[in-house]
Structure 1
Amino acid sequence: MLSRLRDRPWTLALLIGAAAQLLFCYRLGAPSVLTFDEIHYVPAARTLWALAEPANTEHPLVAKELIGLGIRLFGDNPIGWRALSTLAGTATVLGVFAILWLLFGRARIAVLGAVFVLLNQTVYIQARIAMLEGFLGAFVTCAIAALLWAMRAPRGRVWPRLLLSGVLFGLAVGTKWVAAPYVALACLLILWTKWRDRDRYFPGVHAIAAVLVLGLASIATYFLTFLPAFFYRLDPMTLGELIPFQRYMYERQTQLLPPHPYQSDWWSWPLLVRPIWYFYEPDGGVQRGVLLIGNPVIWYGGLVAVAACLWAGLRRRSSAIGGAGLLWVASLAIWAAIPKSLGFFYYYHLSGIFLCVAIAAAFHAWPQSRRRYLDEIFLFAALFAFFHFWPILSAAPLDGPGAFNRWMWFDSWR
């Protein structure tokens, strides 16, 4: 049976996706109150779907549109607030599976990467809270997968796949502006691959035409996501205000903010220096907690994997393996360059996803004879760590107010 599944990657993907969705939905109603930044995005989603007035204007609308859709479908309750976030988490897991399958064509590597994403902890937590990052991760990973799908498409089938990638990138930027550099990186990838072998990659498509289609599709999709704003009862947007509003959003996002107890610098995120307590208080008659913290096995092991990918990519001249490492490097460099007055650990969400891509790629690069059982050992170590932290990832009942000390490896985690 296992050998048959290896020959049917999309069946494997569906099984992994079903497992991810079940895991994300288990006890989704805990905590039963708005948690961390849900206090900003859930009210904004309610206001948006009521077409009342502008709200939470420092960010685009897509994530709030989706949070509001969940509320419409499942009610204004914890399940409704977070329902679409669980789907975004599952889409992220499947997006990573697709990326690795398209890069390496090996079901084992694709499964490993998808499971690592499932266990990296930050994807799990963001899939269970109504925030922007979960939707950002889903759209960016799926857009990258669609771009690789277009790159390997048969002649005559490139354009629809390229257009799909552009739409997904546009939705990603419409979720959070930090996705915009990935559109630029996608355009550079098109130009580089066409220069390297114009007949093998994006066959039958001129490089400049491909870049224009991807760029214009993403821009058009981004601006279309503002359509509900034109129908607000109070202060509706006009076409003349659409472009100036982007400047206003930029000013809001780059404004100087007062210090925050959970602020941290970009260089500290890969080291797990300052995780964030999203929730820690009594709920439903018991003490519960949700700590946004990466899986230490994946977080620290992933840094080794990134270095291994970069080395193997250079030594073997493998753009797929080297690209897996460079993707993580680029994702962190974006935050090093962004002019934000404050940084927070949850900004590392995309980079944490790309760590899992790098780990799987590093195992692919390592000769099978030399890594015998090593990938299984690493997987079980990550699984052990995930279940060790499970109670403070899932808002499970805890023994009391001081129970959190059991999981505090360092003082900076408190």
Structure 2
Amino acid sequence: MGILGWLLPLIVMVIGGLLRFVRLGEPETLVFDETYYVKDAYSYLLSGYEREWPEDPDADFNSGNTGIILGTPDYVVHPPVGKWMIAMGMLIFGSDNPFGWRFSAAVVGTLSILFIALIAQRLFGSPILGAVAGLLTAVDGHHLVHSRTSLLDVFLMFWLVVAFGALLLDRDHSRRKLAAKLSMLAAAAPGGARPTAADLLYGPWLGLRPWRIVAGLSLGLALGTKWSALPYIAVFGLMTVLWDMNARRVVGVQRWITGAVLRDGLQAFASLVPLAGLTYLATWTGWFLSSDAYNRQWAADHPAPAWEWLPASIRSLADYHRAAYTFHEGLGSEHPYESTPWSWLVMGRPVSFYYKGDLGADQGCAVEACSRAITSVGNPLIWWSAAIALIVMIFFWVGRRDWRAGAILAGVAAGYLPWFLYPERTTFFFYAIAFQPFLILALVYCLGLILGRSWAPPARRRTGLMLVGGFVVAAVLLSAFFLPIWTAEVIPYDQWRLRMWMPSWI
């Protein structure tokens, strides 16, 4: 990868970082679900596990009173990783500092721009398309809002992107290694090592695959952030084995399916599933080390002779998970910003994270009435184009067997389709941040088709550059238009209303 391959991704990362870190501490109050996760993170700093808060915790916390005496252990339904990551920012910058609450979210949001740009560059073989993927991520409002607020979903997205990138690197590394081993076997001298019958039938074993281990660790951390990472473990595991099957088929291995299953699949399973599981368990270390965290002594109060061979802490944690799963499965309370998965791709009901109306001159308003908002609506040009791009991707995957289209669709499907299994559950548009990077990749795939091949006739290439450049410029300008309602700027009420393109956005 040349200097341009590093320079362009770094430039778009810096652009995204400026958008995320400038005025990160505004508003100075907890917004939306920060009221849960920031306080849980503060509990971790004090105790290593979640504890209950006083009667009016928002008022205390927003006033800078973080010397609050916390109560008994609290029951929560999300694993610890995202909250520990929030806590790291609070540890560095202070628990009473809004910049500290949101620092970690801004860091992973900014880093994800770099990783998405590098992933796109690897997939499409173009530094320009890689930079376009990074820039579209950097300026999109949905990603920006998540990067400027301390919800768990941005951390989930980050670890999934890392896992996907690691599997791409494993794909490249393993194919080079397979080709090298087969060449060595084919060129073996008469007195040297001879290929075995198994080598000829199934292909060689490729040895340790460190990038798969990185992917397994990342998936475990994603699962330790939110359970909605679970489908990704299954989908990414199947995807990487299919890549191995195709690699053995292409190089002429006779029994390439069996060879991939026996010589790659078992290791893939061990690297992704048990390793992710062990990583997930390790994320509960604070809970394990405590004596009075929620449900910590459940096993002692509920003896079960048939399960005595399991450590009491594991049995207690298992019951905790049973209760949490029951909660998630039965979550059906009405919420003003709930939305069905059917509406997510067109942003039918984005979530208002924060809104203050009727602001006066004392709050920076130069007209009769102003508003201040954080709305998780994405850039409409990016999102609506990406929804159309998914249809194109299906044709290229089915019709042309393009592995890149299949990999991107797998990333969307793992994060999107499982939500349709719970039609009665209360769901929100902001869950879509988990698979948004794959929507961006789908869009850039189609922009690459418009751009054309590097060896295309000059006139065709110029037309493609103009069309893609025009799309990117339009997306950036539209983001500049929506930026005030993503970053809590004080604007006249009629300007806020002008940005509410659909009645369902209000």
**TM-score normalized by structure 2?**
0.76
Confirm or deny that 1:285 pairs with 2:363. yes
Question: One-letter code of the match for 1:9?
Answer: G
Where in structure 2 are the equivalents of 1:100-139 lying within 5 Å?
A: 100-139=120-159
Q: Which deviates more from structure 2 when the two are superposed, residues 259-268 or residues 105-114?
A: 105-114
Where in structure 2 are the equivalents of 1:366-385 lying within 5 Å?
A: 366=450, 367-368=452-453, 369=460, 371-385=464-478
Q: Which residue of 2 aligns with 1:406?
A: 498
Confirm or deny that 1:264 pairs with 2:284. no
Where in structure 2 are the equivalents of 1:200-215 lying within 5 Å?
A: 206-215=264-273
Asked whether the equivalents of residues 44 and 55 of structure 1 are also in contact (C-alpha less than 8 Å), the reply is no
Distance 1:365 1:14, change over 3 A: same
Q: Which residue of 1 aligns with 2:227?
A: 177
Report the CA distance between 1:297 and its aligned residue: 0.2
Report the CA distance between 1:253 and its aligned residue: 1.5
Larger radius of gyration: 2
Alignment partners' CA distance in 2, 1:36 and 1:167: 30
Alignment partners' CA distance in 1, 2:166 and 2:339: 33
Report the CA distance between 1:157 and its aligned residue: 8.2
Report the CA distance between 1:6 and its aligned residue: 5.6
Asked whether the equivalents of residues 12 and 138 of structure 2 are also in contact (C-alpha less than 8 Å), the reply is no
Aligned residues: 409
Alignment partners' CA distance in 1, 2:265 and 2:239: 10
- 1:276-314 deviations in whole A, cap 9, x for unaligned? 111111688244211110110011111121112222233
Alignment partners' CA distance in 1, 2:280 and 2:105: 20
Q: Which residue of 2 aligns with 1:161?
A: 211
Alignment partners' CA distance in 1, 2:337 and 2:264: 47
Instruction: Look up the SS of the partner of 2:25 in the other structure.
Output: coil
Report the CA distance between 1:126 and its aligned residue: 0.3
Confirm or deny that 1:151 pairs with 2:171. yes
- 1:78-113 deviations in whole A, cap 9, x for unaligned? 101000000110122122123222322221111111
Alignment partners' CA distance in 1, 2:148 and 2:128: 27
Question: One-letter code of the match for 2:80?
Answer: L
Alignment partners' CA distance in 2, 1:212 and 1:110: 32
Report the CA distance between 1:324 and its aligned residue: 2.3
Asked whether the equivalents of residues 160 and 222 of structure 2 are also in contact (C-alpha less than 8 Å), the reply is yes
Q: Which deviates more from structure 2 when the two are superposed, residues 147-156 or residues 265-274?
A: 147-156
- 1:354 paired residue among 431, 435, 438: 438
Distance 1:244 1:233, change over 3 A: closer
Q: Which residue of 2 aligns with 1:191?
A: 241
Question: One-letter code of the match for 1:70?
Answer: G
Report the CA distance between 1:231 and its aligned residue: 3.1
- The RMSD of aligned alpha carbons is 2.4
Asked whether the equivalents of residues 190 and 211 of structure 1 are also in contact (C-alpha less than 8 Å), the reply is no
Instruction: Look up the SS of the partner of 2:415 in the other structure.
Output: helix
Asked whether the equivalents of residues 232 and 411 of structure 2 are also in contact (C-alpha less than 8 Å), the reply is no
Q: Which deviates more from structure 2 when the two are superposed, residues 348-357 or residues 258-267?
A: 348-357
Report the CA distance between 1:399 and its aligned residue: 2.4
Report the CA distance between 1:159 and its aligned residue: 1.7
Q: Which residue of 2 aligns with 1:327?
A: 411
Asked whether the equivalents of residues 332 and 348 of structure 1 are also in contact (C-alpha less than 8 Å), the reply is yes
Identity %: 27
**TM-score normalized by structure 1?**
0.92
Gaps of 5+ in 1: none
Instruction: Look up the SS of the partner of 2:501 in the other structure.
Output: coil
Distance 1:340 1:221, change over 3 A: farther
Report the CA distance between 1:351 and its aligned residue: 3.0
Instruction: Look up the SS of the partner of 2:375 in the other structure.
Output: strand
Asked whether the equivalents of residues 121 and 393 of structure 1 are also in contact (C-alpha less than 8 Å), the reply is yes
Distance 1:28 1:125, change over 3 A: same
Distance 1:198 1:174, change over 3 A: same
Confirm or deny that 1:67 pairs with 2:86. yes
- 1:185-226 deviations in whole A, cap 9, x for unaligned? 111012212222238799995222122222121111111000
Q: Which residue of 2 aligns with 1:394?
A: 487
Q: Which residue of 2 aligns with 1:304?
A: 388
Q: Which residue of 2 aligns with 1:99?
A: 119
